Structure 1
Amino acid sequence: IILQRFDSVTPQEFAFGEQMLKDDGIDDETMHEKMDDIIRLFDGVMEREHLELPEGHPIRSFMEENQIILGTIAEMKELLAGKFIKNRWLEVYDRLKEYIKHITRKHNQLFPYLEQKGFDRPTLIMWTFDDHVKKAILRSARYLDMDKEEAFLKMQPEVIEKIEDIIFKETQVLYPTSMELLSEEEFRKMRIGEEEVGFANMEAPKGFLPPEKTERSSGGEPSFMKDFSALLSKYHMGAGTDTEMDVAIGKLTLAQINLIYRHLPIDLTFVDENDIVKFYTDTPVRVFSRSAGVIGRKVQNCHPREILPVVNRILDSFKSGEKDTVEFFINKPGKQIFVNYIAVRDENGVYRGCLETMQDVEHIRSLGNKPQSAPVWTGS
């Protein structure tokens, strides 16, 4: 064994080492449990980088959101030192729940680009830390809503610690590494889908959009429409988005197909036979936030680690032919979400992917149809 002394370590080197530990057989659970100890080992030698970025750059927006939420953390510490006033805590938790947008945007926008570089270990580990932050915020918010003052106050040091910890990890490792691995063009592409998820406690920034997005916002034809038009022209199939195409039954233009998807009262997501997310509907009634960054991403990387066994079980049952559908309900405050996973097979019965549908059926339930509350596995 050759030991070598390092006077300093860059965030990129630290993240690369984290990735290499995966290749050496260190599993994700062990890495998650020991991550704080590992970071402490590098205290004093980890180089710190000050990033000067233009308005609208995704990393700058992440950092600005963190500064805002750190102000909220300071307010929480002051409130803990005084008498309990519920209304003030409700205001604080409105901001903390907004911070979940920061986490969601990071998962949907930033992580996919890093994973495309083969850099999946740090994102998987950080996803677990992020989930702990979300759960702590939401559990604490429920205590507050239910007037469980003692349980609520007891939880606040944990909420504060978890948020400060994730901000530290983002600042020290995630952002500098992202700047090293990703190009300006990739950040500009990432910028396109950010408004779809939204920003945490701040207005949407201006600028740092790619040219095609600016063109679209000023009334120009979206770039994907232009690409499609060019493809149709190449094969002499017509002028573009207004050209009628033969579908299974009937004829539709691309513009009509997109309009139909956008007006469905249900979320659709399609994952192909290789577990790659290929499509989701752009509807105003979306149950869970997502953005275009999930397209082309392994579906396993779009879910928290603790539910991966369920995701893989469903997909494996489809691929083996054991199941054709899996359906269940998710209960949320004021909502009851009906989820249906459907195996997509071609005319020869070959598995070609999975279609996921989601719909808030609370309104339907109010009309007299009371759905079951337990998951139901069905198959043919």
Structure 2
Amino acid sequence: MFINIQYDTCHEVIEMTELLRSEKKKEKLKSLLLKIHEGEDINKLKEEFKAILSSISPLEIPIIEQELVKEGIPARDIAKMCDLHVELFRGAISGVGEEEEKDIPEGHPLRTLFLENKEILKDAEMLSLYARTLANTKDEKAREEIIKVLEDLVNTLRKVGFTHYTREEMLIFPYIERRGLNAVATVLWTKHDEIRYMLKRLVKLLRDGNLEKFVDEAVKTANALSDMVFRENNILYPTLKALLDEGEWKAIRMQEEEIGFYKVNPPSWDPGVEPIHPWELEEGLSAEQILSLPKEVQRAIKGKPLSFDSTKLKREGDIDLGTGYLSVEELKAIFKALPIDITFVDKDDRVRFFSPGERIFTRTLSVLGRPVQLCHPPKSVHIVNKILKAFKEGRKKEATFWIRMGDKYVYIKYVPVFNEKGEYLGTLEITMDIAPYKKIEGEKRLLDWMD
């Protein structure tokens, strides 16, 4: 369904190497880079750089860089061309023009995604450049410096998965899935996870000192990151631009800070409309909308029924909990299933609720409405009052205890509860047996059911 860009096939490299036998371009770049190395401002040389770079295709860049590295040009100087590379080759690599991007308001989630992709492209190019530089550097001190740069680059690029990709998966994909475009989201999410794994593997290769394998994998990872930028800018983002309205983008913008951004800090943006969440959409794709989608998406859905997800989230009788809607029956079942015991004492120190099911400390219905001080032995009432007073005055945010009870190791936590205005509503007691959790070691990532 998606276009697969491969920059590093053997056939292309051989062809490009033959093409670059004329030393003119390389020598011109070399002379400009030497000027940078000698301290000249790159901004003053920008027009000269543009003149030579505009005659070079994106496929030639890695080969020229490689030859410059072999001739002793410092990688950090070559890296200063990264911004120019991205700027000059945006049409070929990123698929969006400057004017189109400028038409999107600052702070708009789609503009933020485009801006992040520019940063991802730069860092992917840096990763490839420094990895290839490492492969051709013999001096041990220089290699140590390059490895440090690569460690920082890889750790930085891993944040793409925690920010850029996660915002798409958690905030944006639900809108296209609701409209029946599940395949688009599924393919992209799969690619995201592949890149996450590749970056995680690079960390291990560096840690293990497997530098030869690292160089090979780093170049592949850089290509995968660049390829994803192409997929997003040419397929996903035009799809989003065609389908989502301002209310949907506002809802996305309202949640972005919870996940974070990759190397950008967008300003606030408010189109002055009510936010629209995915579950509030009531219509599927119209014929006009389908025709406005990128050709790749149209081909993918041609002849296939698009199933609009018409599920109504809020049902009659549901309680609005701010982060979801539940029936009373569901709430009761959830409290019963929790691996913790909960007791709530209101602002007047009266017991109002306790969770059902098996408990560490016995609770009966007769305790409801009882002053919490009378639920404790007289000798510990002063401790209860001390905790409640500190909570009501806002001086403390929690009180914790842990005690042995036979084979149980009981953890008890008291926390004050406030409303949106900051007014004290009561205190929550949370109790759990942590003995089983203290025995846990390592990781368990796979389901081990035997049936």
Normalised to the residue count of structure 1, the TM-score between the two structures is: 0.46
* Structure of greater relative contact order (alpha carbons < 8 Å, 6+ residues apart): 1
Mark the structure with the bigger radius of gyration: 2
Using structure 2 for the length normalisation, give the TM-score.
0.39
